[in-house]
Amino acid sequence: MRNNLNTFVFALAILSTFTLTAQMEQGTIEIDRSAILIEDVLTAEEQAALTPGDVLLQLRAGNERFVRSDLTARDHSFQIRETADAQYPKAIVLSCVDSRVPVEDVFDKGIGDIFVARVAGNFVNPDILGSMEFATKVSGAKLVLVMGHENCGAIHAAIDGVELGNITTMLENIKPAVEMSTKSTGERTSKNRLFVHEVVENNVYRNINRIKEDSNILKEMFDKGEIDIKGAVYDMDTGVVIFLD
């Protein structure tokens, strides 16, 4: 019964799309293209003029559009050609590898807009730090954002003490966040959502501190106000990015 209903809904959606397209081609429906946000590839001059605060506001605004399904119209073929020889991204985002967290989409960004570093549990190591240094010191990005997310498998595994191949070693980078999470009541397992949320946030805070402690380049840029280093948590249920203080 459910399969038949799904097939019917899918067929109805396809029919509606064909009908709308035909009406647009016939001119019976007019699209207000002035209301569509179109974002061009950033130039070196435009990147240089941005402040870290500007970039943070743009990421916030992009996430609001993502949540509303009001995404920017982009000509990807044009953006590919425009960024072939150089890139001037606004930020670098450290995210988890989770397939349900599409970073560029979450912030409504396109080709050439942001660097993205991904590792399960969004923790820093020398390779990630080197990537952040390249993104900021060499390529001019103005913001470093560490973004965790709810329902993170790596966080769950670190909490529950999973041991499996190289995953065991990887989880050692997350376990300190588990140990420092002491405010939540109830069992200290991945079944306790409040505890998991606390660990997710502490993992973000800890890695922000690690960035400042383990990279003299990023710390100096931060102290001079050339970049900002922020944290956030992506809510899997709503698509909202919650920026941390």
C-beta of residue 11 within 8 angstroms of C-beta of residue 55: no
Q: Residue ranges of the domains in the chain?
A: 1-31, 37-243
Per-residue pLDDT of the chain (245 residues; tens, 9 = 90+): 444 444 443 344 334 434 433 443 454 544 444 444 456 778 889 899 999 999 999 999 999 999 999 887 776 666 666 666 667 899 999 999 999 999 999 999 988 899 999 999 999 999 999 999 999 999 999 999 999 999 999 999 999 999 999 999 999 999 999 999 999 999 999 999 999 999 999 999 999 999 999 999 999 999 999 999 999 999 999 999 999 98
pTM of the model: 0.81
Distances (CA, A) of 131 to 31, 41, 139: 42, 21, 10
Going by C-alpha positions, the residue among 182, 181, 185 that lies closest to residue 200 is 181
Give the C-alpha separation, 74 to 92, whole Å. Answer: 20
Q: How many CB atoms lie within 10 A of CB 4?
A: 8
CA 180 to chain centre: 25
Asked whether the beta carbons of 115 and 59 are under 8 A apart, the reply is: no
Could you tell me the two tokens for 137?
């010191």
CATH architecture of 37-243: 3-Layer(aba) Sandwich (3.40)
Angle in degrees, CA 54, 57, 58, rounded to 5: 85
Cα(209)–Cα(102) distance, integer angstroms: 25
